[in-house]
Amino acid sequence: MRMYTRHLSDKNMDYEIEEISQGEEAGIKSASIRVDSFRAYANLESERGVHRLVRISPFDSNKRRHTSFAGVDVIPLIEHNDEINIQDDEIRIDVYRSSGAGGQHVNTTDSAVRITHLETGVVVACQAERSQLQNKTRALELLKTKLILKKREDDLEKLNDIRGDQHEAGWGRQIRSYVLQPYQQVKDSRSNLEVGNVQNVLDGDIAIFTKEYLKWRRQGIND
């Protein structure tokens, strides 16, 4: 399950699949990916939201056009923090067998770890390492990060209730469409940027969207 440097626009980013769940019929149901690179969060923050894909489905024998949606969340990893302390009775830990593409990538032991924070319902999982203990350690790091960010978001929501409506894209709102049929176009619904080379964007060429997102966000703050 370990994956290495892949080209993302004009930047090389090391990434690793932490956890992946296959769909019941085909494709991927969910995945968690860790990216290690300078300014990785700043470069990828623009991808948070709902992405819409329109294409001829390879799983449809009648070659009909289908629309799919993928929700993307991007969070920074907060390391070596003392802001939160998780007690054993506050979490449930489940172990299971790692799933992968097959062959040498399949982990044949029950080393994958899923941790559920009982109070908030936040769930994290890791299967990148061969050791169950290593996966548990990495999953706990991610859980701490998510709980810290959730607390900060809850505090921010309380401030927003006082301030009133804020001009910011939230989870559940479509941010970008990738249309492969009947024409080819990628359109960002925030900046209204349109790009014709869909395949390049799907392969990771998103630098122009990142730049336009930052312009859009600065404009929203100034407004």
Put the strands of the sheet holding 194-195 in their side by side order. 65-72, 49-56, 174-179, 185-188, 194-195
Which residues of the chain form CATH 3.30.70.1660?
6-76+172-222
Give dist(CA 160, CA 33) in Å, integer.
30
The whole-number pLDDT of residue 111 equals 87
Task: Report how many helices (DSSP H) and strands (DSSP E) the chain contains, helices first.
Answer: 4, 11
Strands (E), the chain: 6-8, 11-22, 28-36, 49-56, 65-72, 91-96, 112-117, 123-126, 174-179, 185-188, 194-195
**Per-residue pLDDT at 79:** 65
Q: CATH 3.30.160.20: which residues of the chain?
A: 88-163
- Low pLDDT (below 50) residues in the chain: 1-10, 101-107, 162-171
Chain position carrying tokens 């924070």: 117
pLDDT at 114: 93
How high is the pLDDT of residue 162?
A: 47
Identify the CATH assignment for 6-76+172-222 out of 2.60.40.10, 3.10.520.10, 3.30.70.1660, 3.30.1370.10: 3.30.70.1660
**What pLDDT, on the 0 to 100 scale, is given for residue 174?**
84
Instruction: Supply the pLDDT for residue 106.
Output: 45
Nearest by Cα to 153 from 168, 142, 138, 140: 168
**CATH of the domain spanning 88-163, picked from 3.30.70.20, 2.40.50.100, 3.30.70.1150, 3.30.160.20:** 3.30.160.20
Q: Which pLDDT score, from 0 to 100, does residue 209 have?
A: 93
